[in-house]
Structure 1
Amino acid sequence: MSKTEKLPRVELLAPVGKWDVLEAVIAAGADAVYLGGKKYNMRLHRKDYNFTEEELRDAVAYSHERGVRVYVTVNNLLTNDEVADLPAYLRFLQEIAADGIIVQDLGVVRLVRRLGLNIPIHASVMMNAHNLEGLQLLEELGITRVILGRELSLSDIKLLHSRTSLELEYFTHGDMCFSQSSQCYHSGMVFGLSSNRGRCLKPCRWAFELVDRETGETIPVQAPGPYYLAVKDICLLPFLPEVISSGICSLKIEGRMRTADYLGPLIGFYRRALDRYYADPAGYCFDWDEFDELQKMRVRDFSPLFAFGNPGASSIGYTGEREPRFFSQAVKEPTIGEENLKDSPLPAPEKTVSPTKPALAVKAGSSRAALAALESGADLLYTAGESFISQDASWSTDGYREVISRARELGKKVVIGLPRITMPWEMERTIILLEKIQEWGPAGILVTNLGTVFAASRLTTLPLYADYSCNTANQEAASLLQEYRVVQFTAPLEFCYEEILALPGGALPVEAVVHGNLPAMVSDHCLPAALLDNSTRHQICSGQCRRRRYGLKDTAGQIHPLEVDQDCRNHIYLANELALLPYLRSFYGAGFASLRLEIPLYLPEEAAAVTRLYRAEIDRLWEDPEGYSFQESCWRKLLAVRKGPFGTGPYTQGVKQNN
């Protein structure tokens, strides 16, 4: 048999939101389609899209008659109540012979196992699988295919393919996000409409100014427009030989909200190119006339994005002129004033889950800040996984050791944090750090993504704490993480308080973040480099990020802090800091294992002062819950430490189950 005859053919995977689209993409040559039902599904903006159960049954039958596979999206982040309603739907999908389900929530993975179903599971891109260790965890769970993180290059994927038996799928055309997958909480925290639940209002398409966040001064930029985060559409049609060579098994086209008139021709372009390639790989040449026709029907301008490395400014549509729709505009975030201190906007727990006083946890951004928090009353100290430029010094071996030693003297716990994102080249350093952590023997490790969960569970014997970036939203997911030695998880940042209140009392203890800078997005696109140097994190730049404390000013006049970490990754925060100091009464009896100050951007003196304030209020409340009242003088002390503005963030605006 010749090598050409052995050549495995990649799957052309088309999106489908309505029946006429199903017919159009199959007629155009799709090998497989992915579609969703009316719930548990990431594309829920319009009621006239997606399929009822009877329509799903018919769609699978129609597709199978034509030799086309069907994958059904069950890819929302789910609450406890939603997971409880899911078994009947999963059994239905197996009964109609769907070829696979696409899943984001680890709770769904565990549920499929518990129900004894054999329907293939595909890990959604929203699982943010971006390193080998994450793939190893998913393979161990019985996942058959992984939709890879969009920041991986084709070279990265080729290496991963050589080290895993999992099928690897990759987005090759369509609308892409500015943030790392599943790590954009902006829409959920501000509007209650979450990207992790299919309702994102796309704050990444807002207009911004780059400013000095300390002075408010607008900084001139090289960009031709204000849409600094507006990523172009990915298009890999000109690069099919490279894509196929990487080991990708399925070329995923984005667009379940697109029409048949758009998707039919689009699938046709890819089908014809693939057929020409497989008919004569050695003689294949790209058809530029076809590409000219594709360009005429494009929505946004095209970019290969991260397929060949970090694309920098070339990947952004700065002018916004080809943006098909702006889903939202910047709005003022909820702000706490002195007039709001007496009456809590947060509901009190309906029942007392536990009267035990929660630990006061602090995440610190430097060893000096960590020591200051420990001396000021923190029970549990997390070291941040990132070293931010705004801090006085980066994390070091000596710094970790000093913090662990002092915590032991004080009888406190230290949990060493790992980076939120650990791309393949960063995992090597993370593994070295894990080996050191095992030697130091802290109280535990703060794990942040699938890869760090797997690596920490294999390379150490220490308890693991799942950070908010693990998006643990139900106790089924918590129970699965427990199998990997996770002993506690932090509630999702984008949930409102009613949903957070529903989490304690299950398989694992729960922590709630009650204060600090709330991360809205994390991205591999370096804004200072792109806007000021027209370069990327993988090119030589002038180090503009180290010259000022940057912020992004939105059209509502709010400044969102912009931080750069040790790997040039950009972290964008809500404009208002969370401060629930006046409303701690609403946490009494709720059963949280710890209440956390998320303050890795605080300087040591700020970390000390704010920790003391929360320490004193928590102690007073739990000593005398009936007689407790919050004093305005305490609020003024907070304002003397940090100028704010402060707000309630997602606790009053965040995701509710019916959103």
Structure 2
Amino acid sequence: MPVSPRTPTPRTRIKPEVMSPVGGLPQLRAAVEAGADAVFFGVEAFHARAKVGFTNEQLPELMRGLHERGVQGFVTFNVLVFDRELREAERQLIHLAESGVDAIIVQDLGVARLAREICPDLPIHGSTQMSITSAEGAELARRFGANRVVLGRELSLRDIGRVAAATDVELETFVHGALCVSYSGQCFSSEAWGGRSANRGQCAQACRLPYNLLVDGDERDLGDARYLLSPGDLYALHQVPDLVNMGVDCLKIEGRYKDAEFVALTTAAYRKAVDEAWAERPLSVTPQEERDLEQVYSRGLGPHFIGGTNHQTVVRGRAPRHRGVRVGTVRGTTERGVLVELSEEVKPGDGLVFDPANWRTPEGREEGGFVYQVNPVAQRQRDGQRSAASAPPSTLHELRFGRGAVDSARVRPGDPVWRTQDPTLAVRVKPLVEAADPLYTRPVAAHFRGHVGEVPALTLTDEAGRSVTVTLPEPLSPARNRALDEAGLREQLGKLGGTGYHLADLTVDLSGPGFLPVSGLNALRREAAEQLTALRGQTPERRIRPRLDEVLSAAPRPQSTDDDPQPRLHVLVRTPDQLDAAIAERPDSITLDYLELYGLKPSVERVREAGIRVRVASPRILKPTEHNLQKFLLSLNAELLVRSGGLLEGLQDVPERPTLTGDFSLNAANLLTTRALLELGLTRVTPTHDLNARQITELASLVGPEGLEVIAYQHLPVFHTEHCVFCRFLSEGTDYTSCGHPCESHRVALRDERGVAHPVMADVGCRNTVFEGRPQVAGAHLSGWLAAGLRDFRLEFVHETPEQVREVIGLHRAFLALELGAAELEARLNALSDQGTTEGSLFVPGGFDRLPALPVV
């Protein structure tokens, strides 16, 4: 059963965990020695970084080792799970629980509920891929068993504070690492363009590709900014004190594909920042430490959204990859090298890259190499000196490279110069990545009891309150010379090197005076430390049992109550002109998805007056300051197409709420999640775009076709992003208050390297959606869907003209009336689009039809 929401208790200031990414054993060791409180990683299947992680066989021993060092291990289970995988998912969840993992990080709502059923003692964390941006979103995750949620990376400090004040669900927020341009869980670019789902751990990083900007049909010269969707990296070290004060439970570093040096440096930096903020000391990060964080990996570090919206800084657009530290600017070339005006020290052995911005080099190649000679130009001209060991900053130098390493003809004056590799960095980070003995230690409290005539006893207690007591076999003898005292005990019992502990507190209970040789004290200390370590490493006892069969049978497929077997067409429009065309065609319902709220009320009335059912589409994201939109949407007295989990939660206690349909953005990928959403008051659910046409058919057979509404024609929403392309490239403003609202007066599209132009539209919250330029059509699958009992089909329009809207509706109506075949439908739709059409996410790969029957049926 889902967990019922409850009234939050006031949030108190706590010391947040520092959580580090782990892609393998070297990164795990680096995180532990740098002071991570927790690490997160994947295990074999069902996680969103498919190329890294650990095996099921490794997991029990790995968890034991982490627990011995006082570190929690969180396992990512953060993908959508298909119906054919539910049994495998259950087996994996049981293995994770039995292995002692401290929590699982889950995206799929149905899987979260299943995990809670299987093991009520296993904590569940709602992944950032749940697109949680409000307290209501956190409460929805709690309904399905989550005790913690990972907030969207697009929230500002103020937003995080508002969420923290409105819910007592534990909150986790990213503080460092790569940013996705799209809201996590709302990106379908990999699915649309490569048949590989980002929600399934197969991101193709289409956001890191170059695009041309088309404004009202004309290409706009953007200079060096071709990577229009490639954000810089998050760097929130200076925001740590604020996050500590507002009661955030965990600070998370992104980077499971990064190496051990990255993990070590970032973990150490945020460990230090949290400790200082908790002690209310000022942040003491040095310029060298900040440079090291930039050097180890950076696409351009900044607080970005967490520091507040500034669309001019989130995406610079010059390059999509690691840049490191900028060290200077090209001023010219020589016969044997490159003249660079340096702003940072450069040394022989440094790896440099000359950044031409790839718009000037169509093949995308950048010049660069390892420096072997640094010649200060002014000094050489004065005294004939040929080289220098290193270069002071802010002077002109000739940099020389190995033969053939740099083609100086491709290096131009004005190009930025970046140091991508610094050999000295490895020296500074070596203690963290190659520590032989435990480097970061956990506190223990010791209590020594020494009464003459009784056996001496030592009790060690760790930070979690676990205690062990050890004794010596012989009683304490009277002292003849030097008696035991607190100072001597502190000295000997504090020798905990190599154990992973340090002595934080000591209490003594002495009666004597008594004597104990140093060897006896050492034996007590060693035995106590070993027993405490063994105790910490024990696998927790948990209630675990298979539950999938019971869960499936507990909610049998509903029987259809639909008296009308005829298929229905639902049309979604985005402009008043499209609305005129849709009303003329009289579909079964019209959904309004407008940029501006002001036009909604009269448009709702127009549809209602025409005798057509009317729906209004909600935004996909609602931030804490935007939940007044719920009141506005309800005031329209229209049905709602619900796209936000937070809105769905907010509507639960609304009396006499309108008819609700759940959209694709709720990510229903299996019958568990679909049933759960229907139980929350949705009449129908649109499956996630991660399902192909065959999987949609199978879902209909499991949940009942009357519970689904499928999309037969649309431009797939490939990116949904907080970053506003209109503001960044069509204004000098930073956000909606200063941009001049170019989204209201211009049409914008992004043309990819294949020549396809993808429309961009803004929503009421200024968030942008990049749509696939070619309509995705389901013509080849409509007959199969009809045979499966599906009756509700939606047609969605983006930039179509009124004539195209009427033609698309008419063609689908003709097909459903058996007046048009599937092949002709597809051909005529293809001819109607100036860029053609695509099967897109509906494509069924070869061999799918040969799969056995669904195991859950």
TM-score per shorter chain, which class? 0.7 to 0.9
Matched, 1:647 2:847: no
Q: Is the 8 A contact 2:569 2:589 kept in 1?
A: yes
The one of 53, 57, 68 equivalent to 2:56 is 53
Percent identity over the alignment is: 29
Amino acid at match of 2:195: G
Matched, 1:101 2:125: no
**1:562: which partner in 2?**
760
**2:623: which partner in 1?**
423
Distance change (3 Å), C-alpha of 1:529 and 1:656:
farther
Q: Is the 8 A contact 1:463 1:487 kept in 2?
A: yes
Q: CA deviation at 1:135?
A: 1.8
What does residue range 401-440 of structure 1 map to in structure 2 within 5 Å?
Answer: 401-407=605-611, 412-434=612-634, 436-437=635-636, 440=637
SS in 1 for 2:653: helix
Q: CA deviation at 1:27?
A: 1.0
Amino acid at match of 2:19: L
Matched, 1:141 2:144: yes
Matched, 1:151 2:154: yes
Distance 2:323 2:195 in 1: 23
The one of 419, 441, 452 equivalent to 2:647 is 452
User: Alignment length, in residue pairs?
Assistant: 599
The one of 381, 385, 392 equivalent to 2:590 is 381
* TM-score, structure 2 normalization: 0.66
Amino acid at match of 1:429: L
The one of 187, 190, 195 equivalent to 2:190 is 187
* TM-score, structure 1 normalization: 0.85
The one of 580, 594, 601 equivalent to 1:397 is 601
Distance 2:295 2:846 in 1: 39
Deviations 1:389-435 (A, max 9, x none): xxxx963222213313423xxxx53333212222222221223322x
Where structure 1 has 5 or more consecutive residues not aligned to the other structure, the ranges are: 1-5, 331-352, 622-627
What does residue range 52-91 of structure 1 map to in structure 2 within 5 Å?
Answer: 52-91=55-94
**2:709: which partner in 1?**
511
**1:629: which partner in 2?**
821
Distance 2:75 2:108 in 1: 14
Distance change (3 Å), C-alpha of 1:413 and 1:183:
same
**2:681: which partner in 1?**
485
Q: Is the 8 A contact 1:17 1:257 kept in 2?
A: yes
What does residue range 29-48 of structure 1 map to in structure 2 within 5 Å?
Answer: 29-44=35-50, 46=51
Matched, 1:365 2:364: no
> Which entry has the higher C-alpha Rg, 1 or 2?
2
Q: Is the 8 A contact 2:109 2:141 kept in 1?
A: no
Higher relative contact order (CA 8 A, sep 6+): 1
SS in 2 for 1:432: helix
**1:340: which partner in 2?**
none
Distance change (3 Å), C-alpha of 1:429 and 1:522:
same
Q: CA deviation at 1:366?
A: 4.2
SS in 1 for 2:610: helix
Distance 2:65 2:624 in 1: 41
**1:254: which partner in 2?**
254
Q: Is the 8 A contact 1:155 1:246 kept in 2?
A: no
Distance 2:319 2:108 in 1: 33
Matched, 1:9 2:217: no
Distance change (3 Å), C-alpha of 1:186 and 1:321:
closer
Distance 1:414 1:547 in 2: 27
**Which 10-residue stretch deviates more, 201-210 or 104-113?**
104-113
Q: CA deviation at 1:453?
A: 1.0
Amino acid at match of 1:165: D
**1:320: which partner in 2?**
319
What does residue range 529-568 of structure 1 map to in structure 2 within 5 Å?
Answer: 529-568=727-766
Q: CA deviation at 1:199?
A: 0.9
**1:20: which partner in 2?**
26
Distance 2:576 2:213 in 1: 30
Q: Is the 8 A contact 1:373 1:607 kept in 2?
A: yes
SS in 1 for 2:701: coil
Deviations 1:426-451 (A, max 9, x none): 221223322x14xx3x4x42111211
Distance 1:425 1:503 in 2: 36
Distance 1:102 1:593 in 2: 36
Q: Is the 8 A contact 2:106 2:125 kept in 1?
A: yes
Deviations 1:337-372 (A, max 9, x none): xxxxxxxxxxxxxxxx99954322211224664464
Distance 2:321 2:207 in 1: 15
Deviations 1:278-312 (A, max 9, x none): 34x14444433321232222332101111121131
Q: Is the 8 A contact 1:445 1:465 kept in 2?
A: yes
Amino acid at match of 1:432: F
Distance 1:457 1:276 in 2: 42
Distance 1:142 1:543 in 2: 41
Distance 2:769 2:283 in 1: 42
Distance 2:285 2:316 in 1: 25
**Which 10-residue stretch deviates more, 248-257 or 269-278?**
269-278
RMSD between aligned alpha carbons? Answer: 2.8
Distance 2:649 2:842 in 1: 31
Q: Is the 8 A contact 1:108 1:476 kept in 2?
A: yes
Q: CA deviation at 1:533?
A: 2.2
Distance change (3 Å), C-alpha of 1:504 and 1:656:
farther
Q: Is the 8 A contact 1:192 1:653 kept in 2?
A: no
Q: Is the 8 A contact 1:74 1:103 kept in 2?
A: yes
Distance 2:775 2:90 in 1: 39
Deviations 1:20-59 (A, max 9, x none): 2212211110001111111011110x2xx21111211112
Amino acid at match of 1:515: Y
What does residue range 252-401 of structure 1 map to in structure 2 within 5 Å?
Answer: 252-279=252-279, 281-320=280-319, 322-323=321-322, 356-366=565-575, 369-370=578-579, 372-384=581-593, 386-387=594-595, 395-401=599-605
**1:344: which partner in 2?**
none
Distance change (3 Å), C-alpha of 1:539 and 1:655:
farther
Deviations 1:556-575 (A, max 9, x none): 11111112233322111112
SS in 2 for 1:310: coil
Distance change (3 Å), C-alpha of 1:630 and 1:264:
closer
Amino acid at match of 1:303: G
What does residue range 112-127 of structure 1 map to in structure 2 within 5 Å?
Answer: 112-115=115-118, 117-127=120-130
Amino acid at match of 2:21: P
Distance 1:324 1:476 in 2: 44
**Which 10-residue stretch deviates more, 642-651 or 247-256?**
642-651
**1:165: which partner in 2?**
168
Distance change (3 Å), C-alpha of 1:605 and 1:426:
farther
**Which 10-residue stretch deviates more, 366-375 or 114-123?**
366-375
**1:245: which partner in 2?**
245
Deviations 1:251-300 (A, max 9, x none): 10011122223212221122223333334x14444433321232222332
Distance 1:257 1:455 in 2: 37
Amino acid at match of 2:63: V
Distance change (3 Å), C-alpha of 1:324 and 1:493:
farther
SS in 2 for 1:535: coil
Amino acid at match of 2:42: G
Amino acid at match of 1:490: T
**Which 10-residue stretch deviates more, 149-158 or 646-655?**
646-655
Distance 1:654 1:556 in 2: 23
SS in 2 for 1:162: helix
Q: Is the 8 A contact 1:192 1:655 kept in 2?
A: no
Distance 2:681 2:35 in 1: 46
Distance change (3 Å), C-alpha of 1:140 and 1:203:
same
SS in 1 for 2:227: coil
Q: Is the 8 A contact 1:236 1:304 kept in 2?
A: yes
Distance 1:490 1:321 in 2: 34
Distance 1:425 1:321 in 2: 32
What does residue range 569-584 of structure 1 map to in structure 2 within 5 Å?
Answer: 569-581=767-779, 584=782
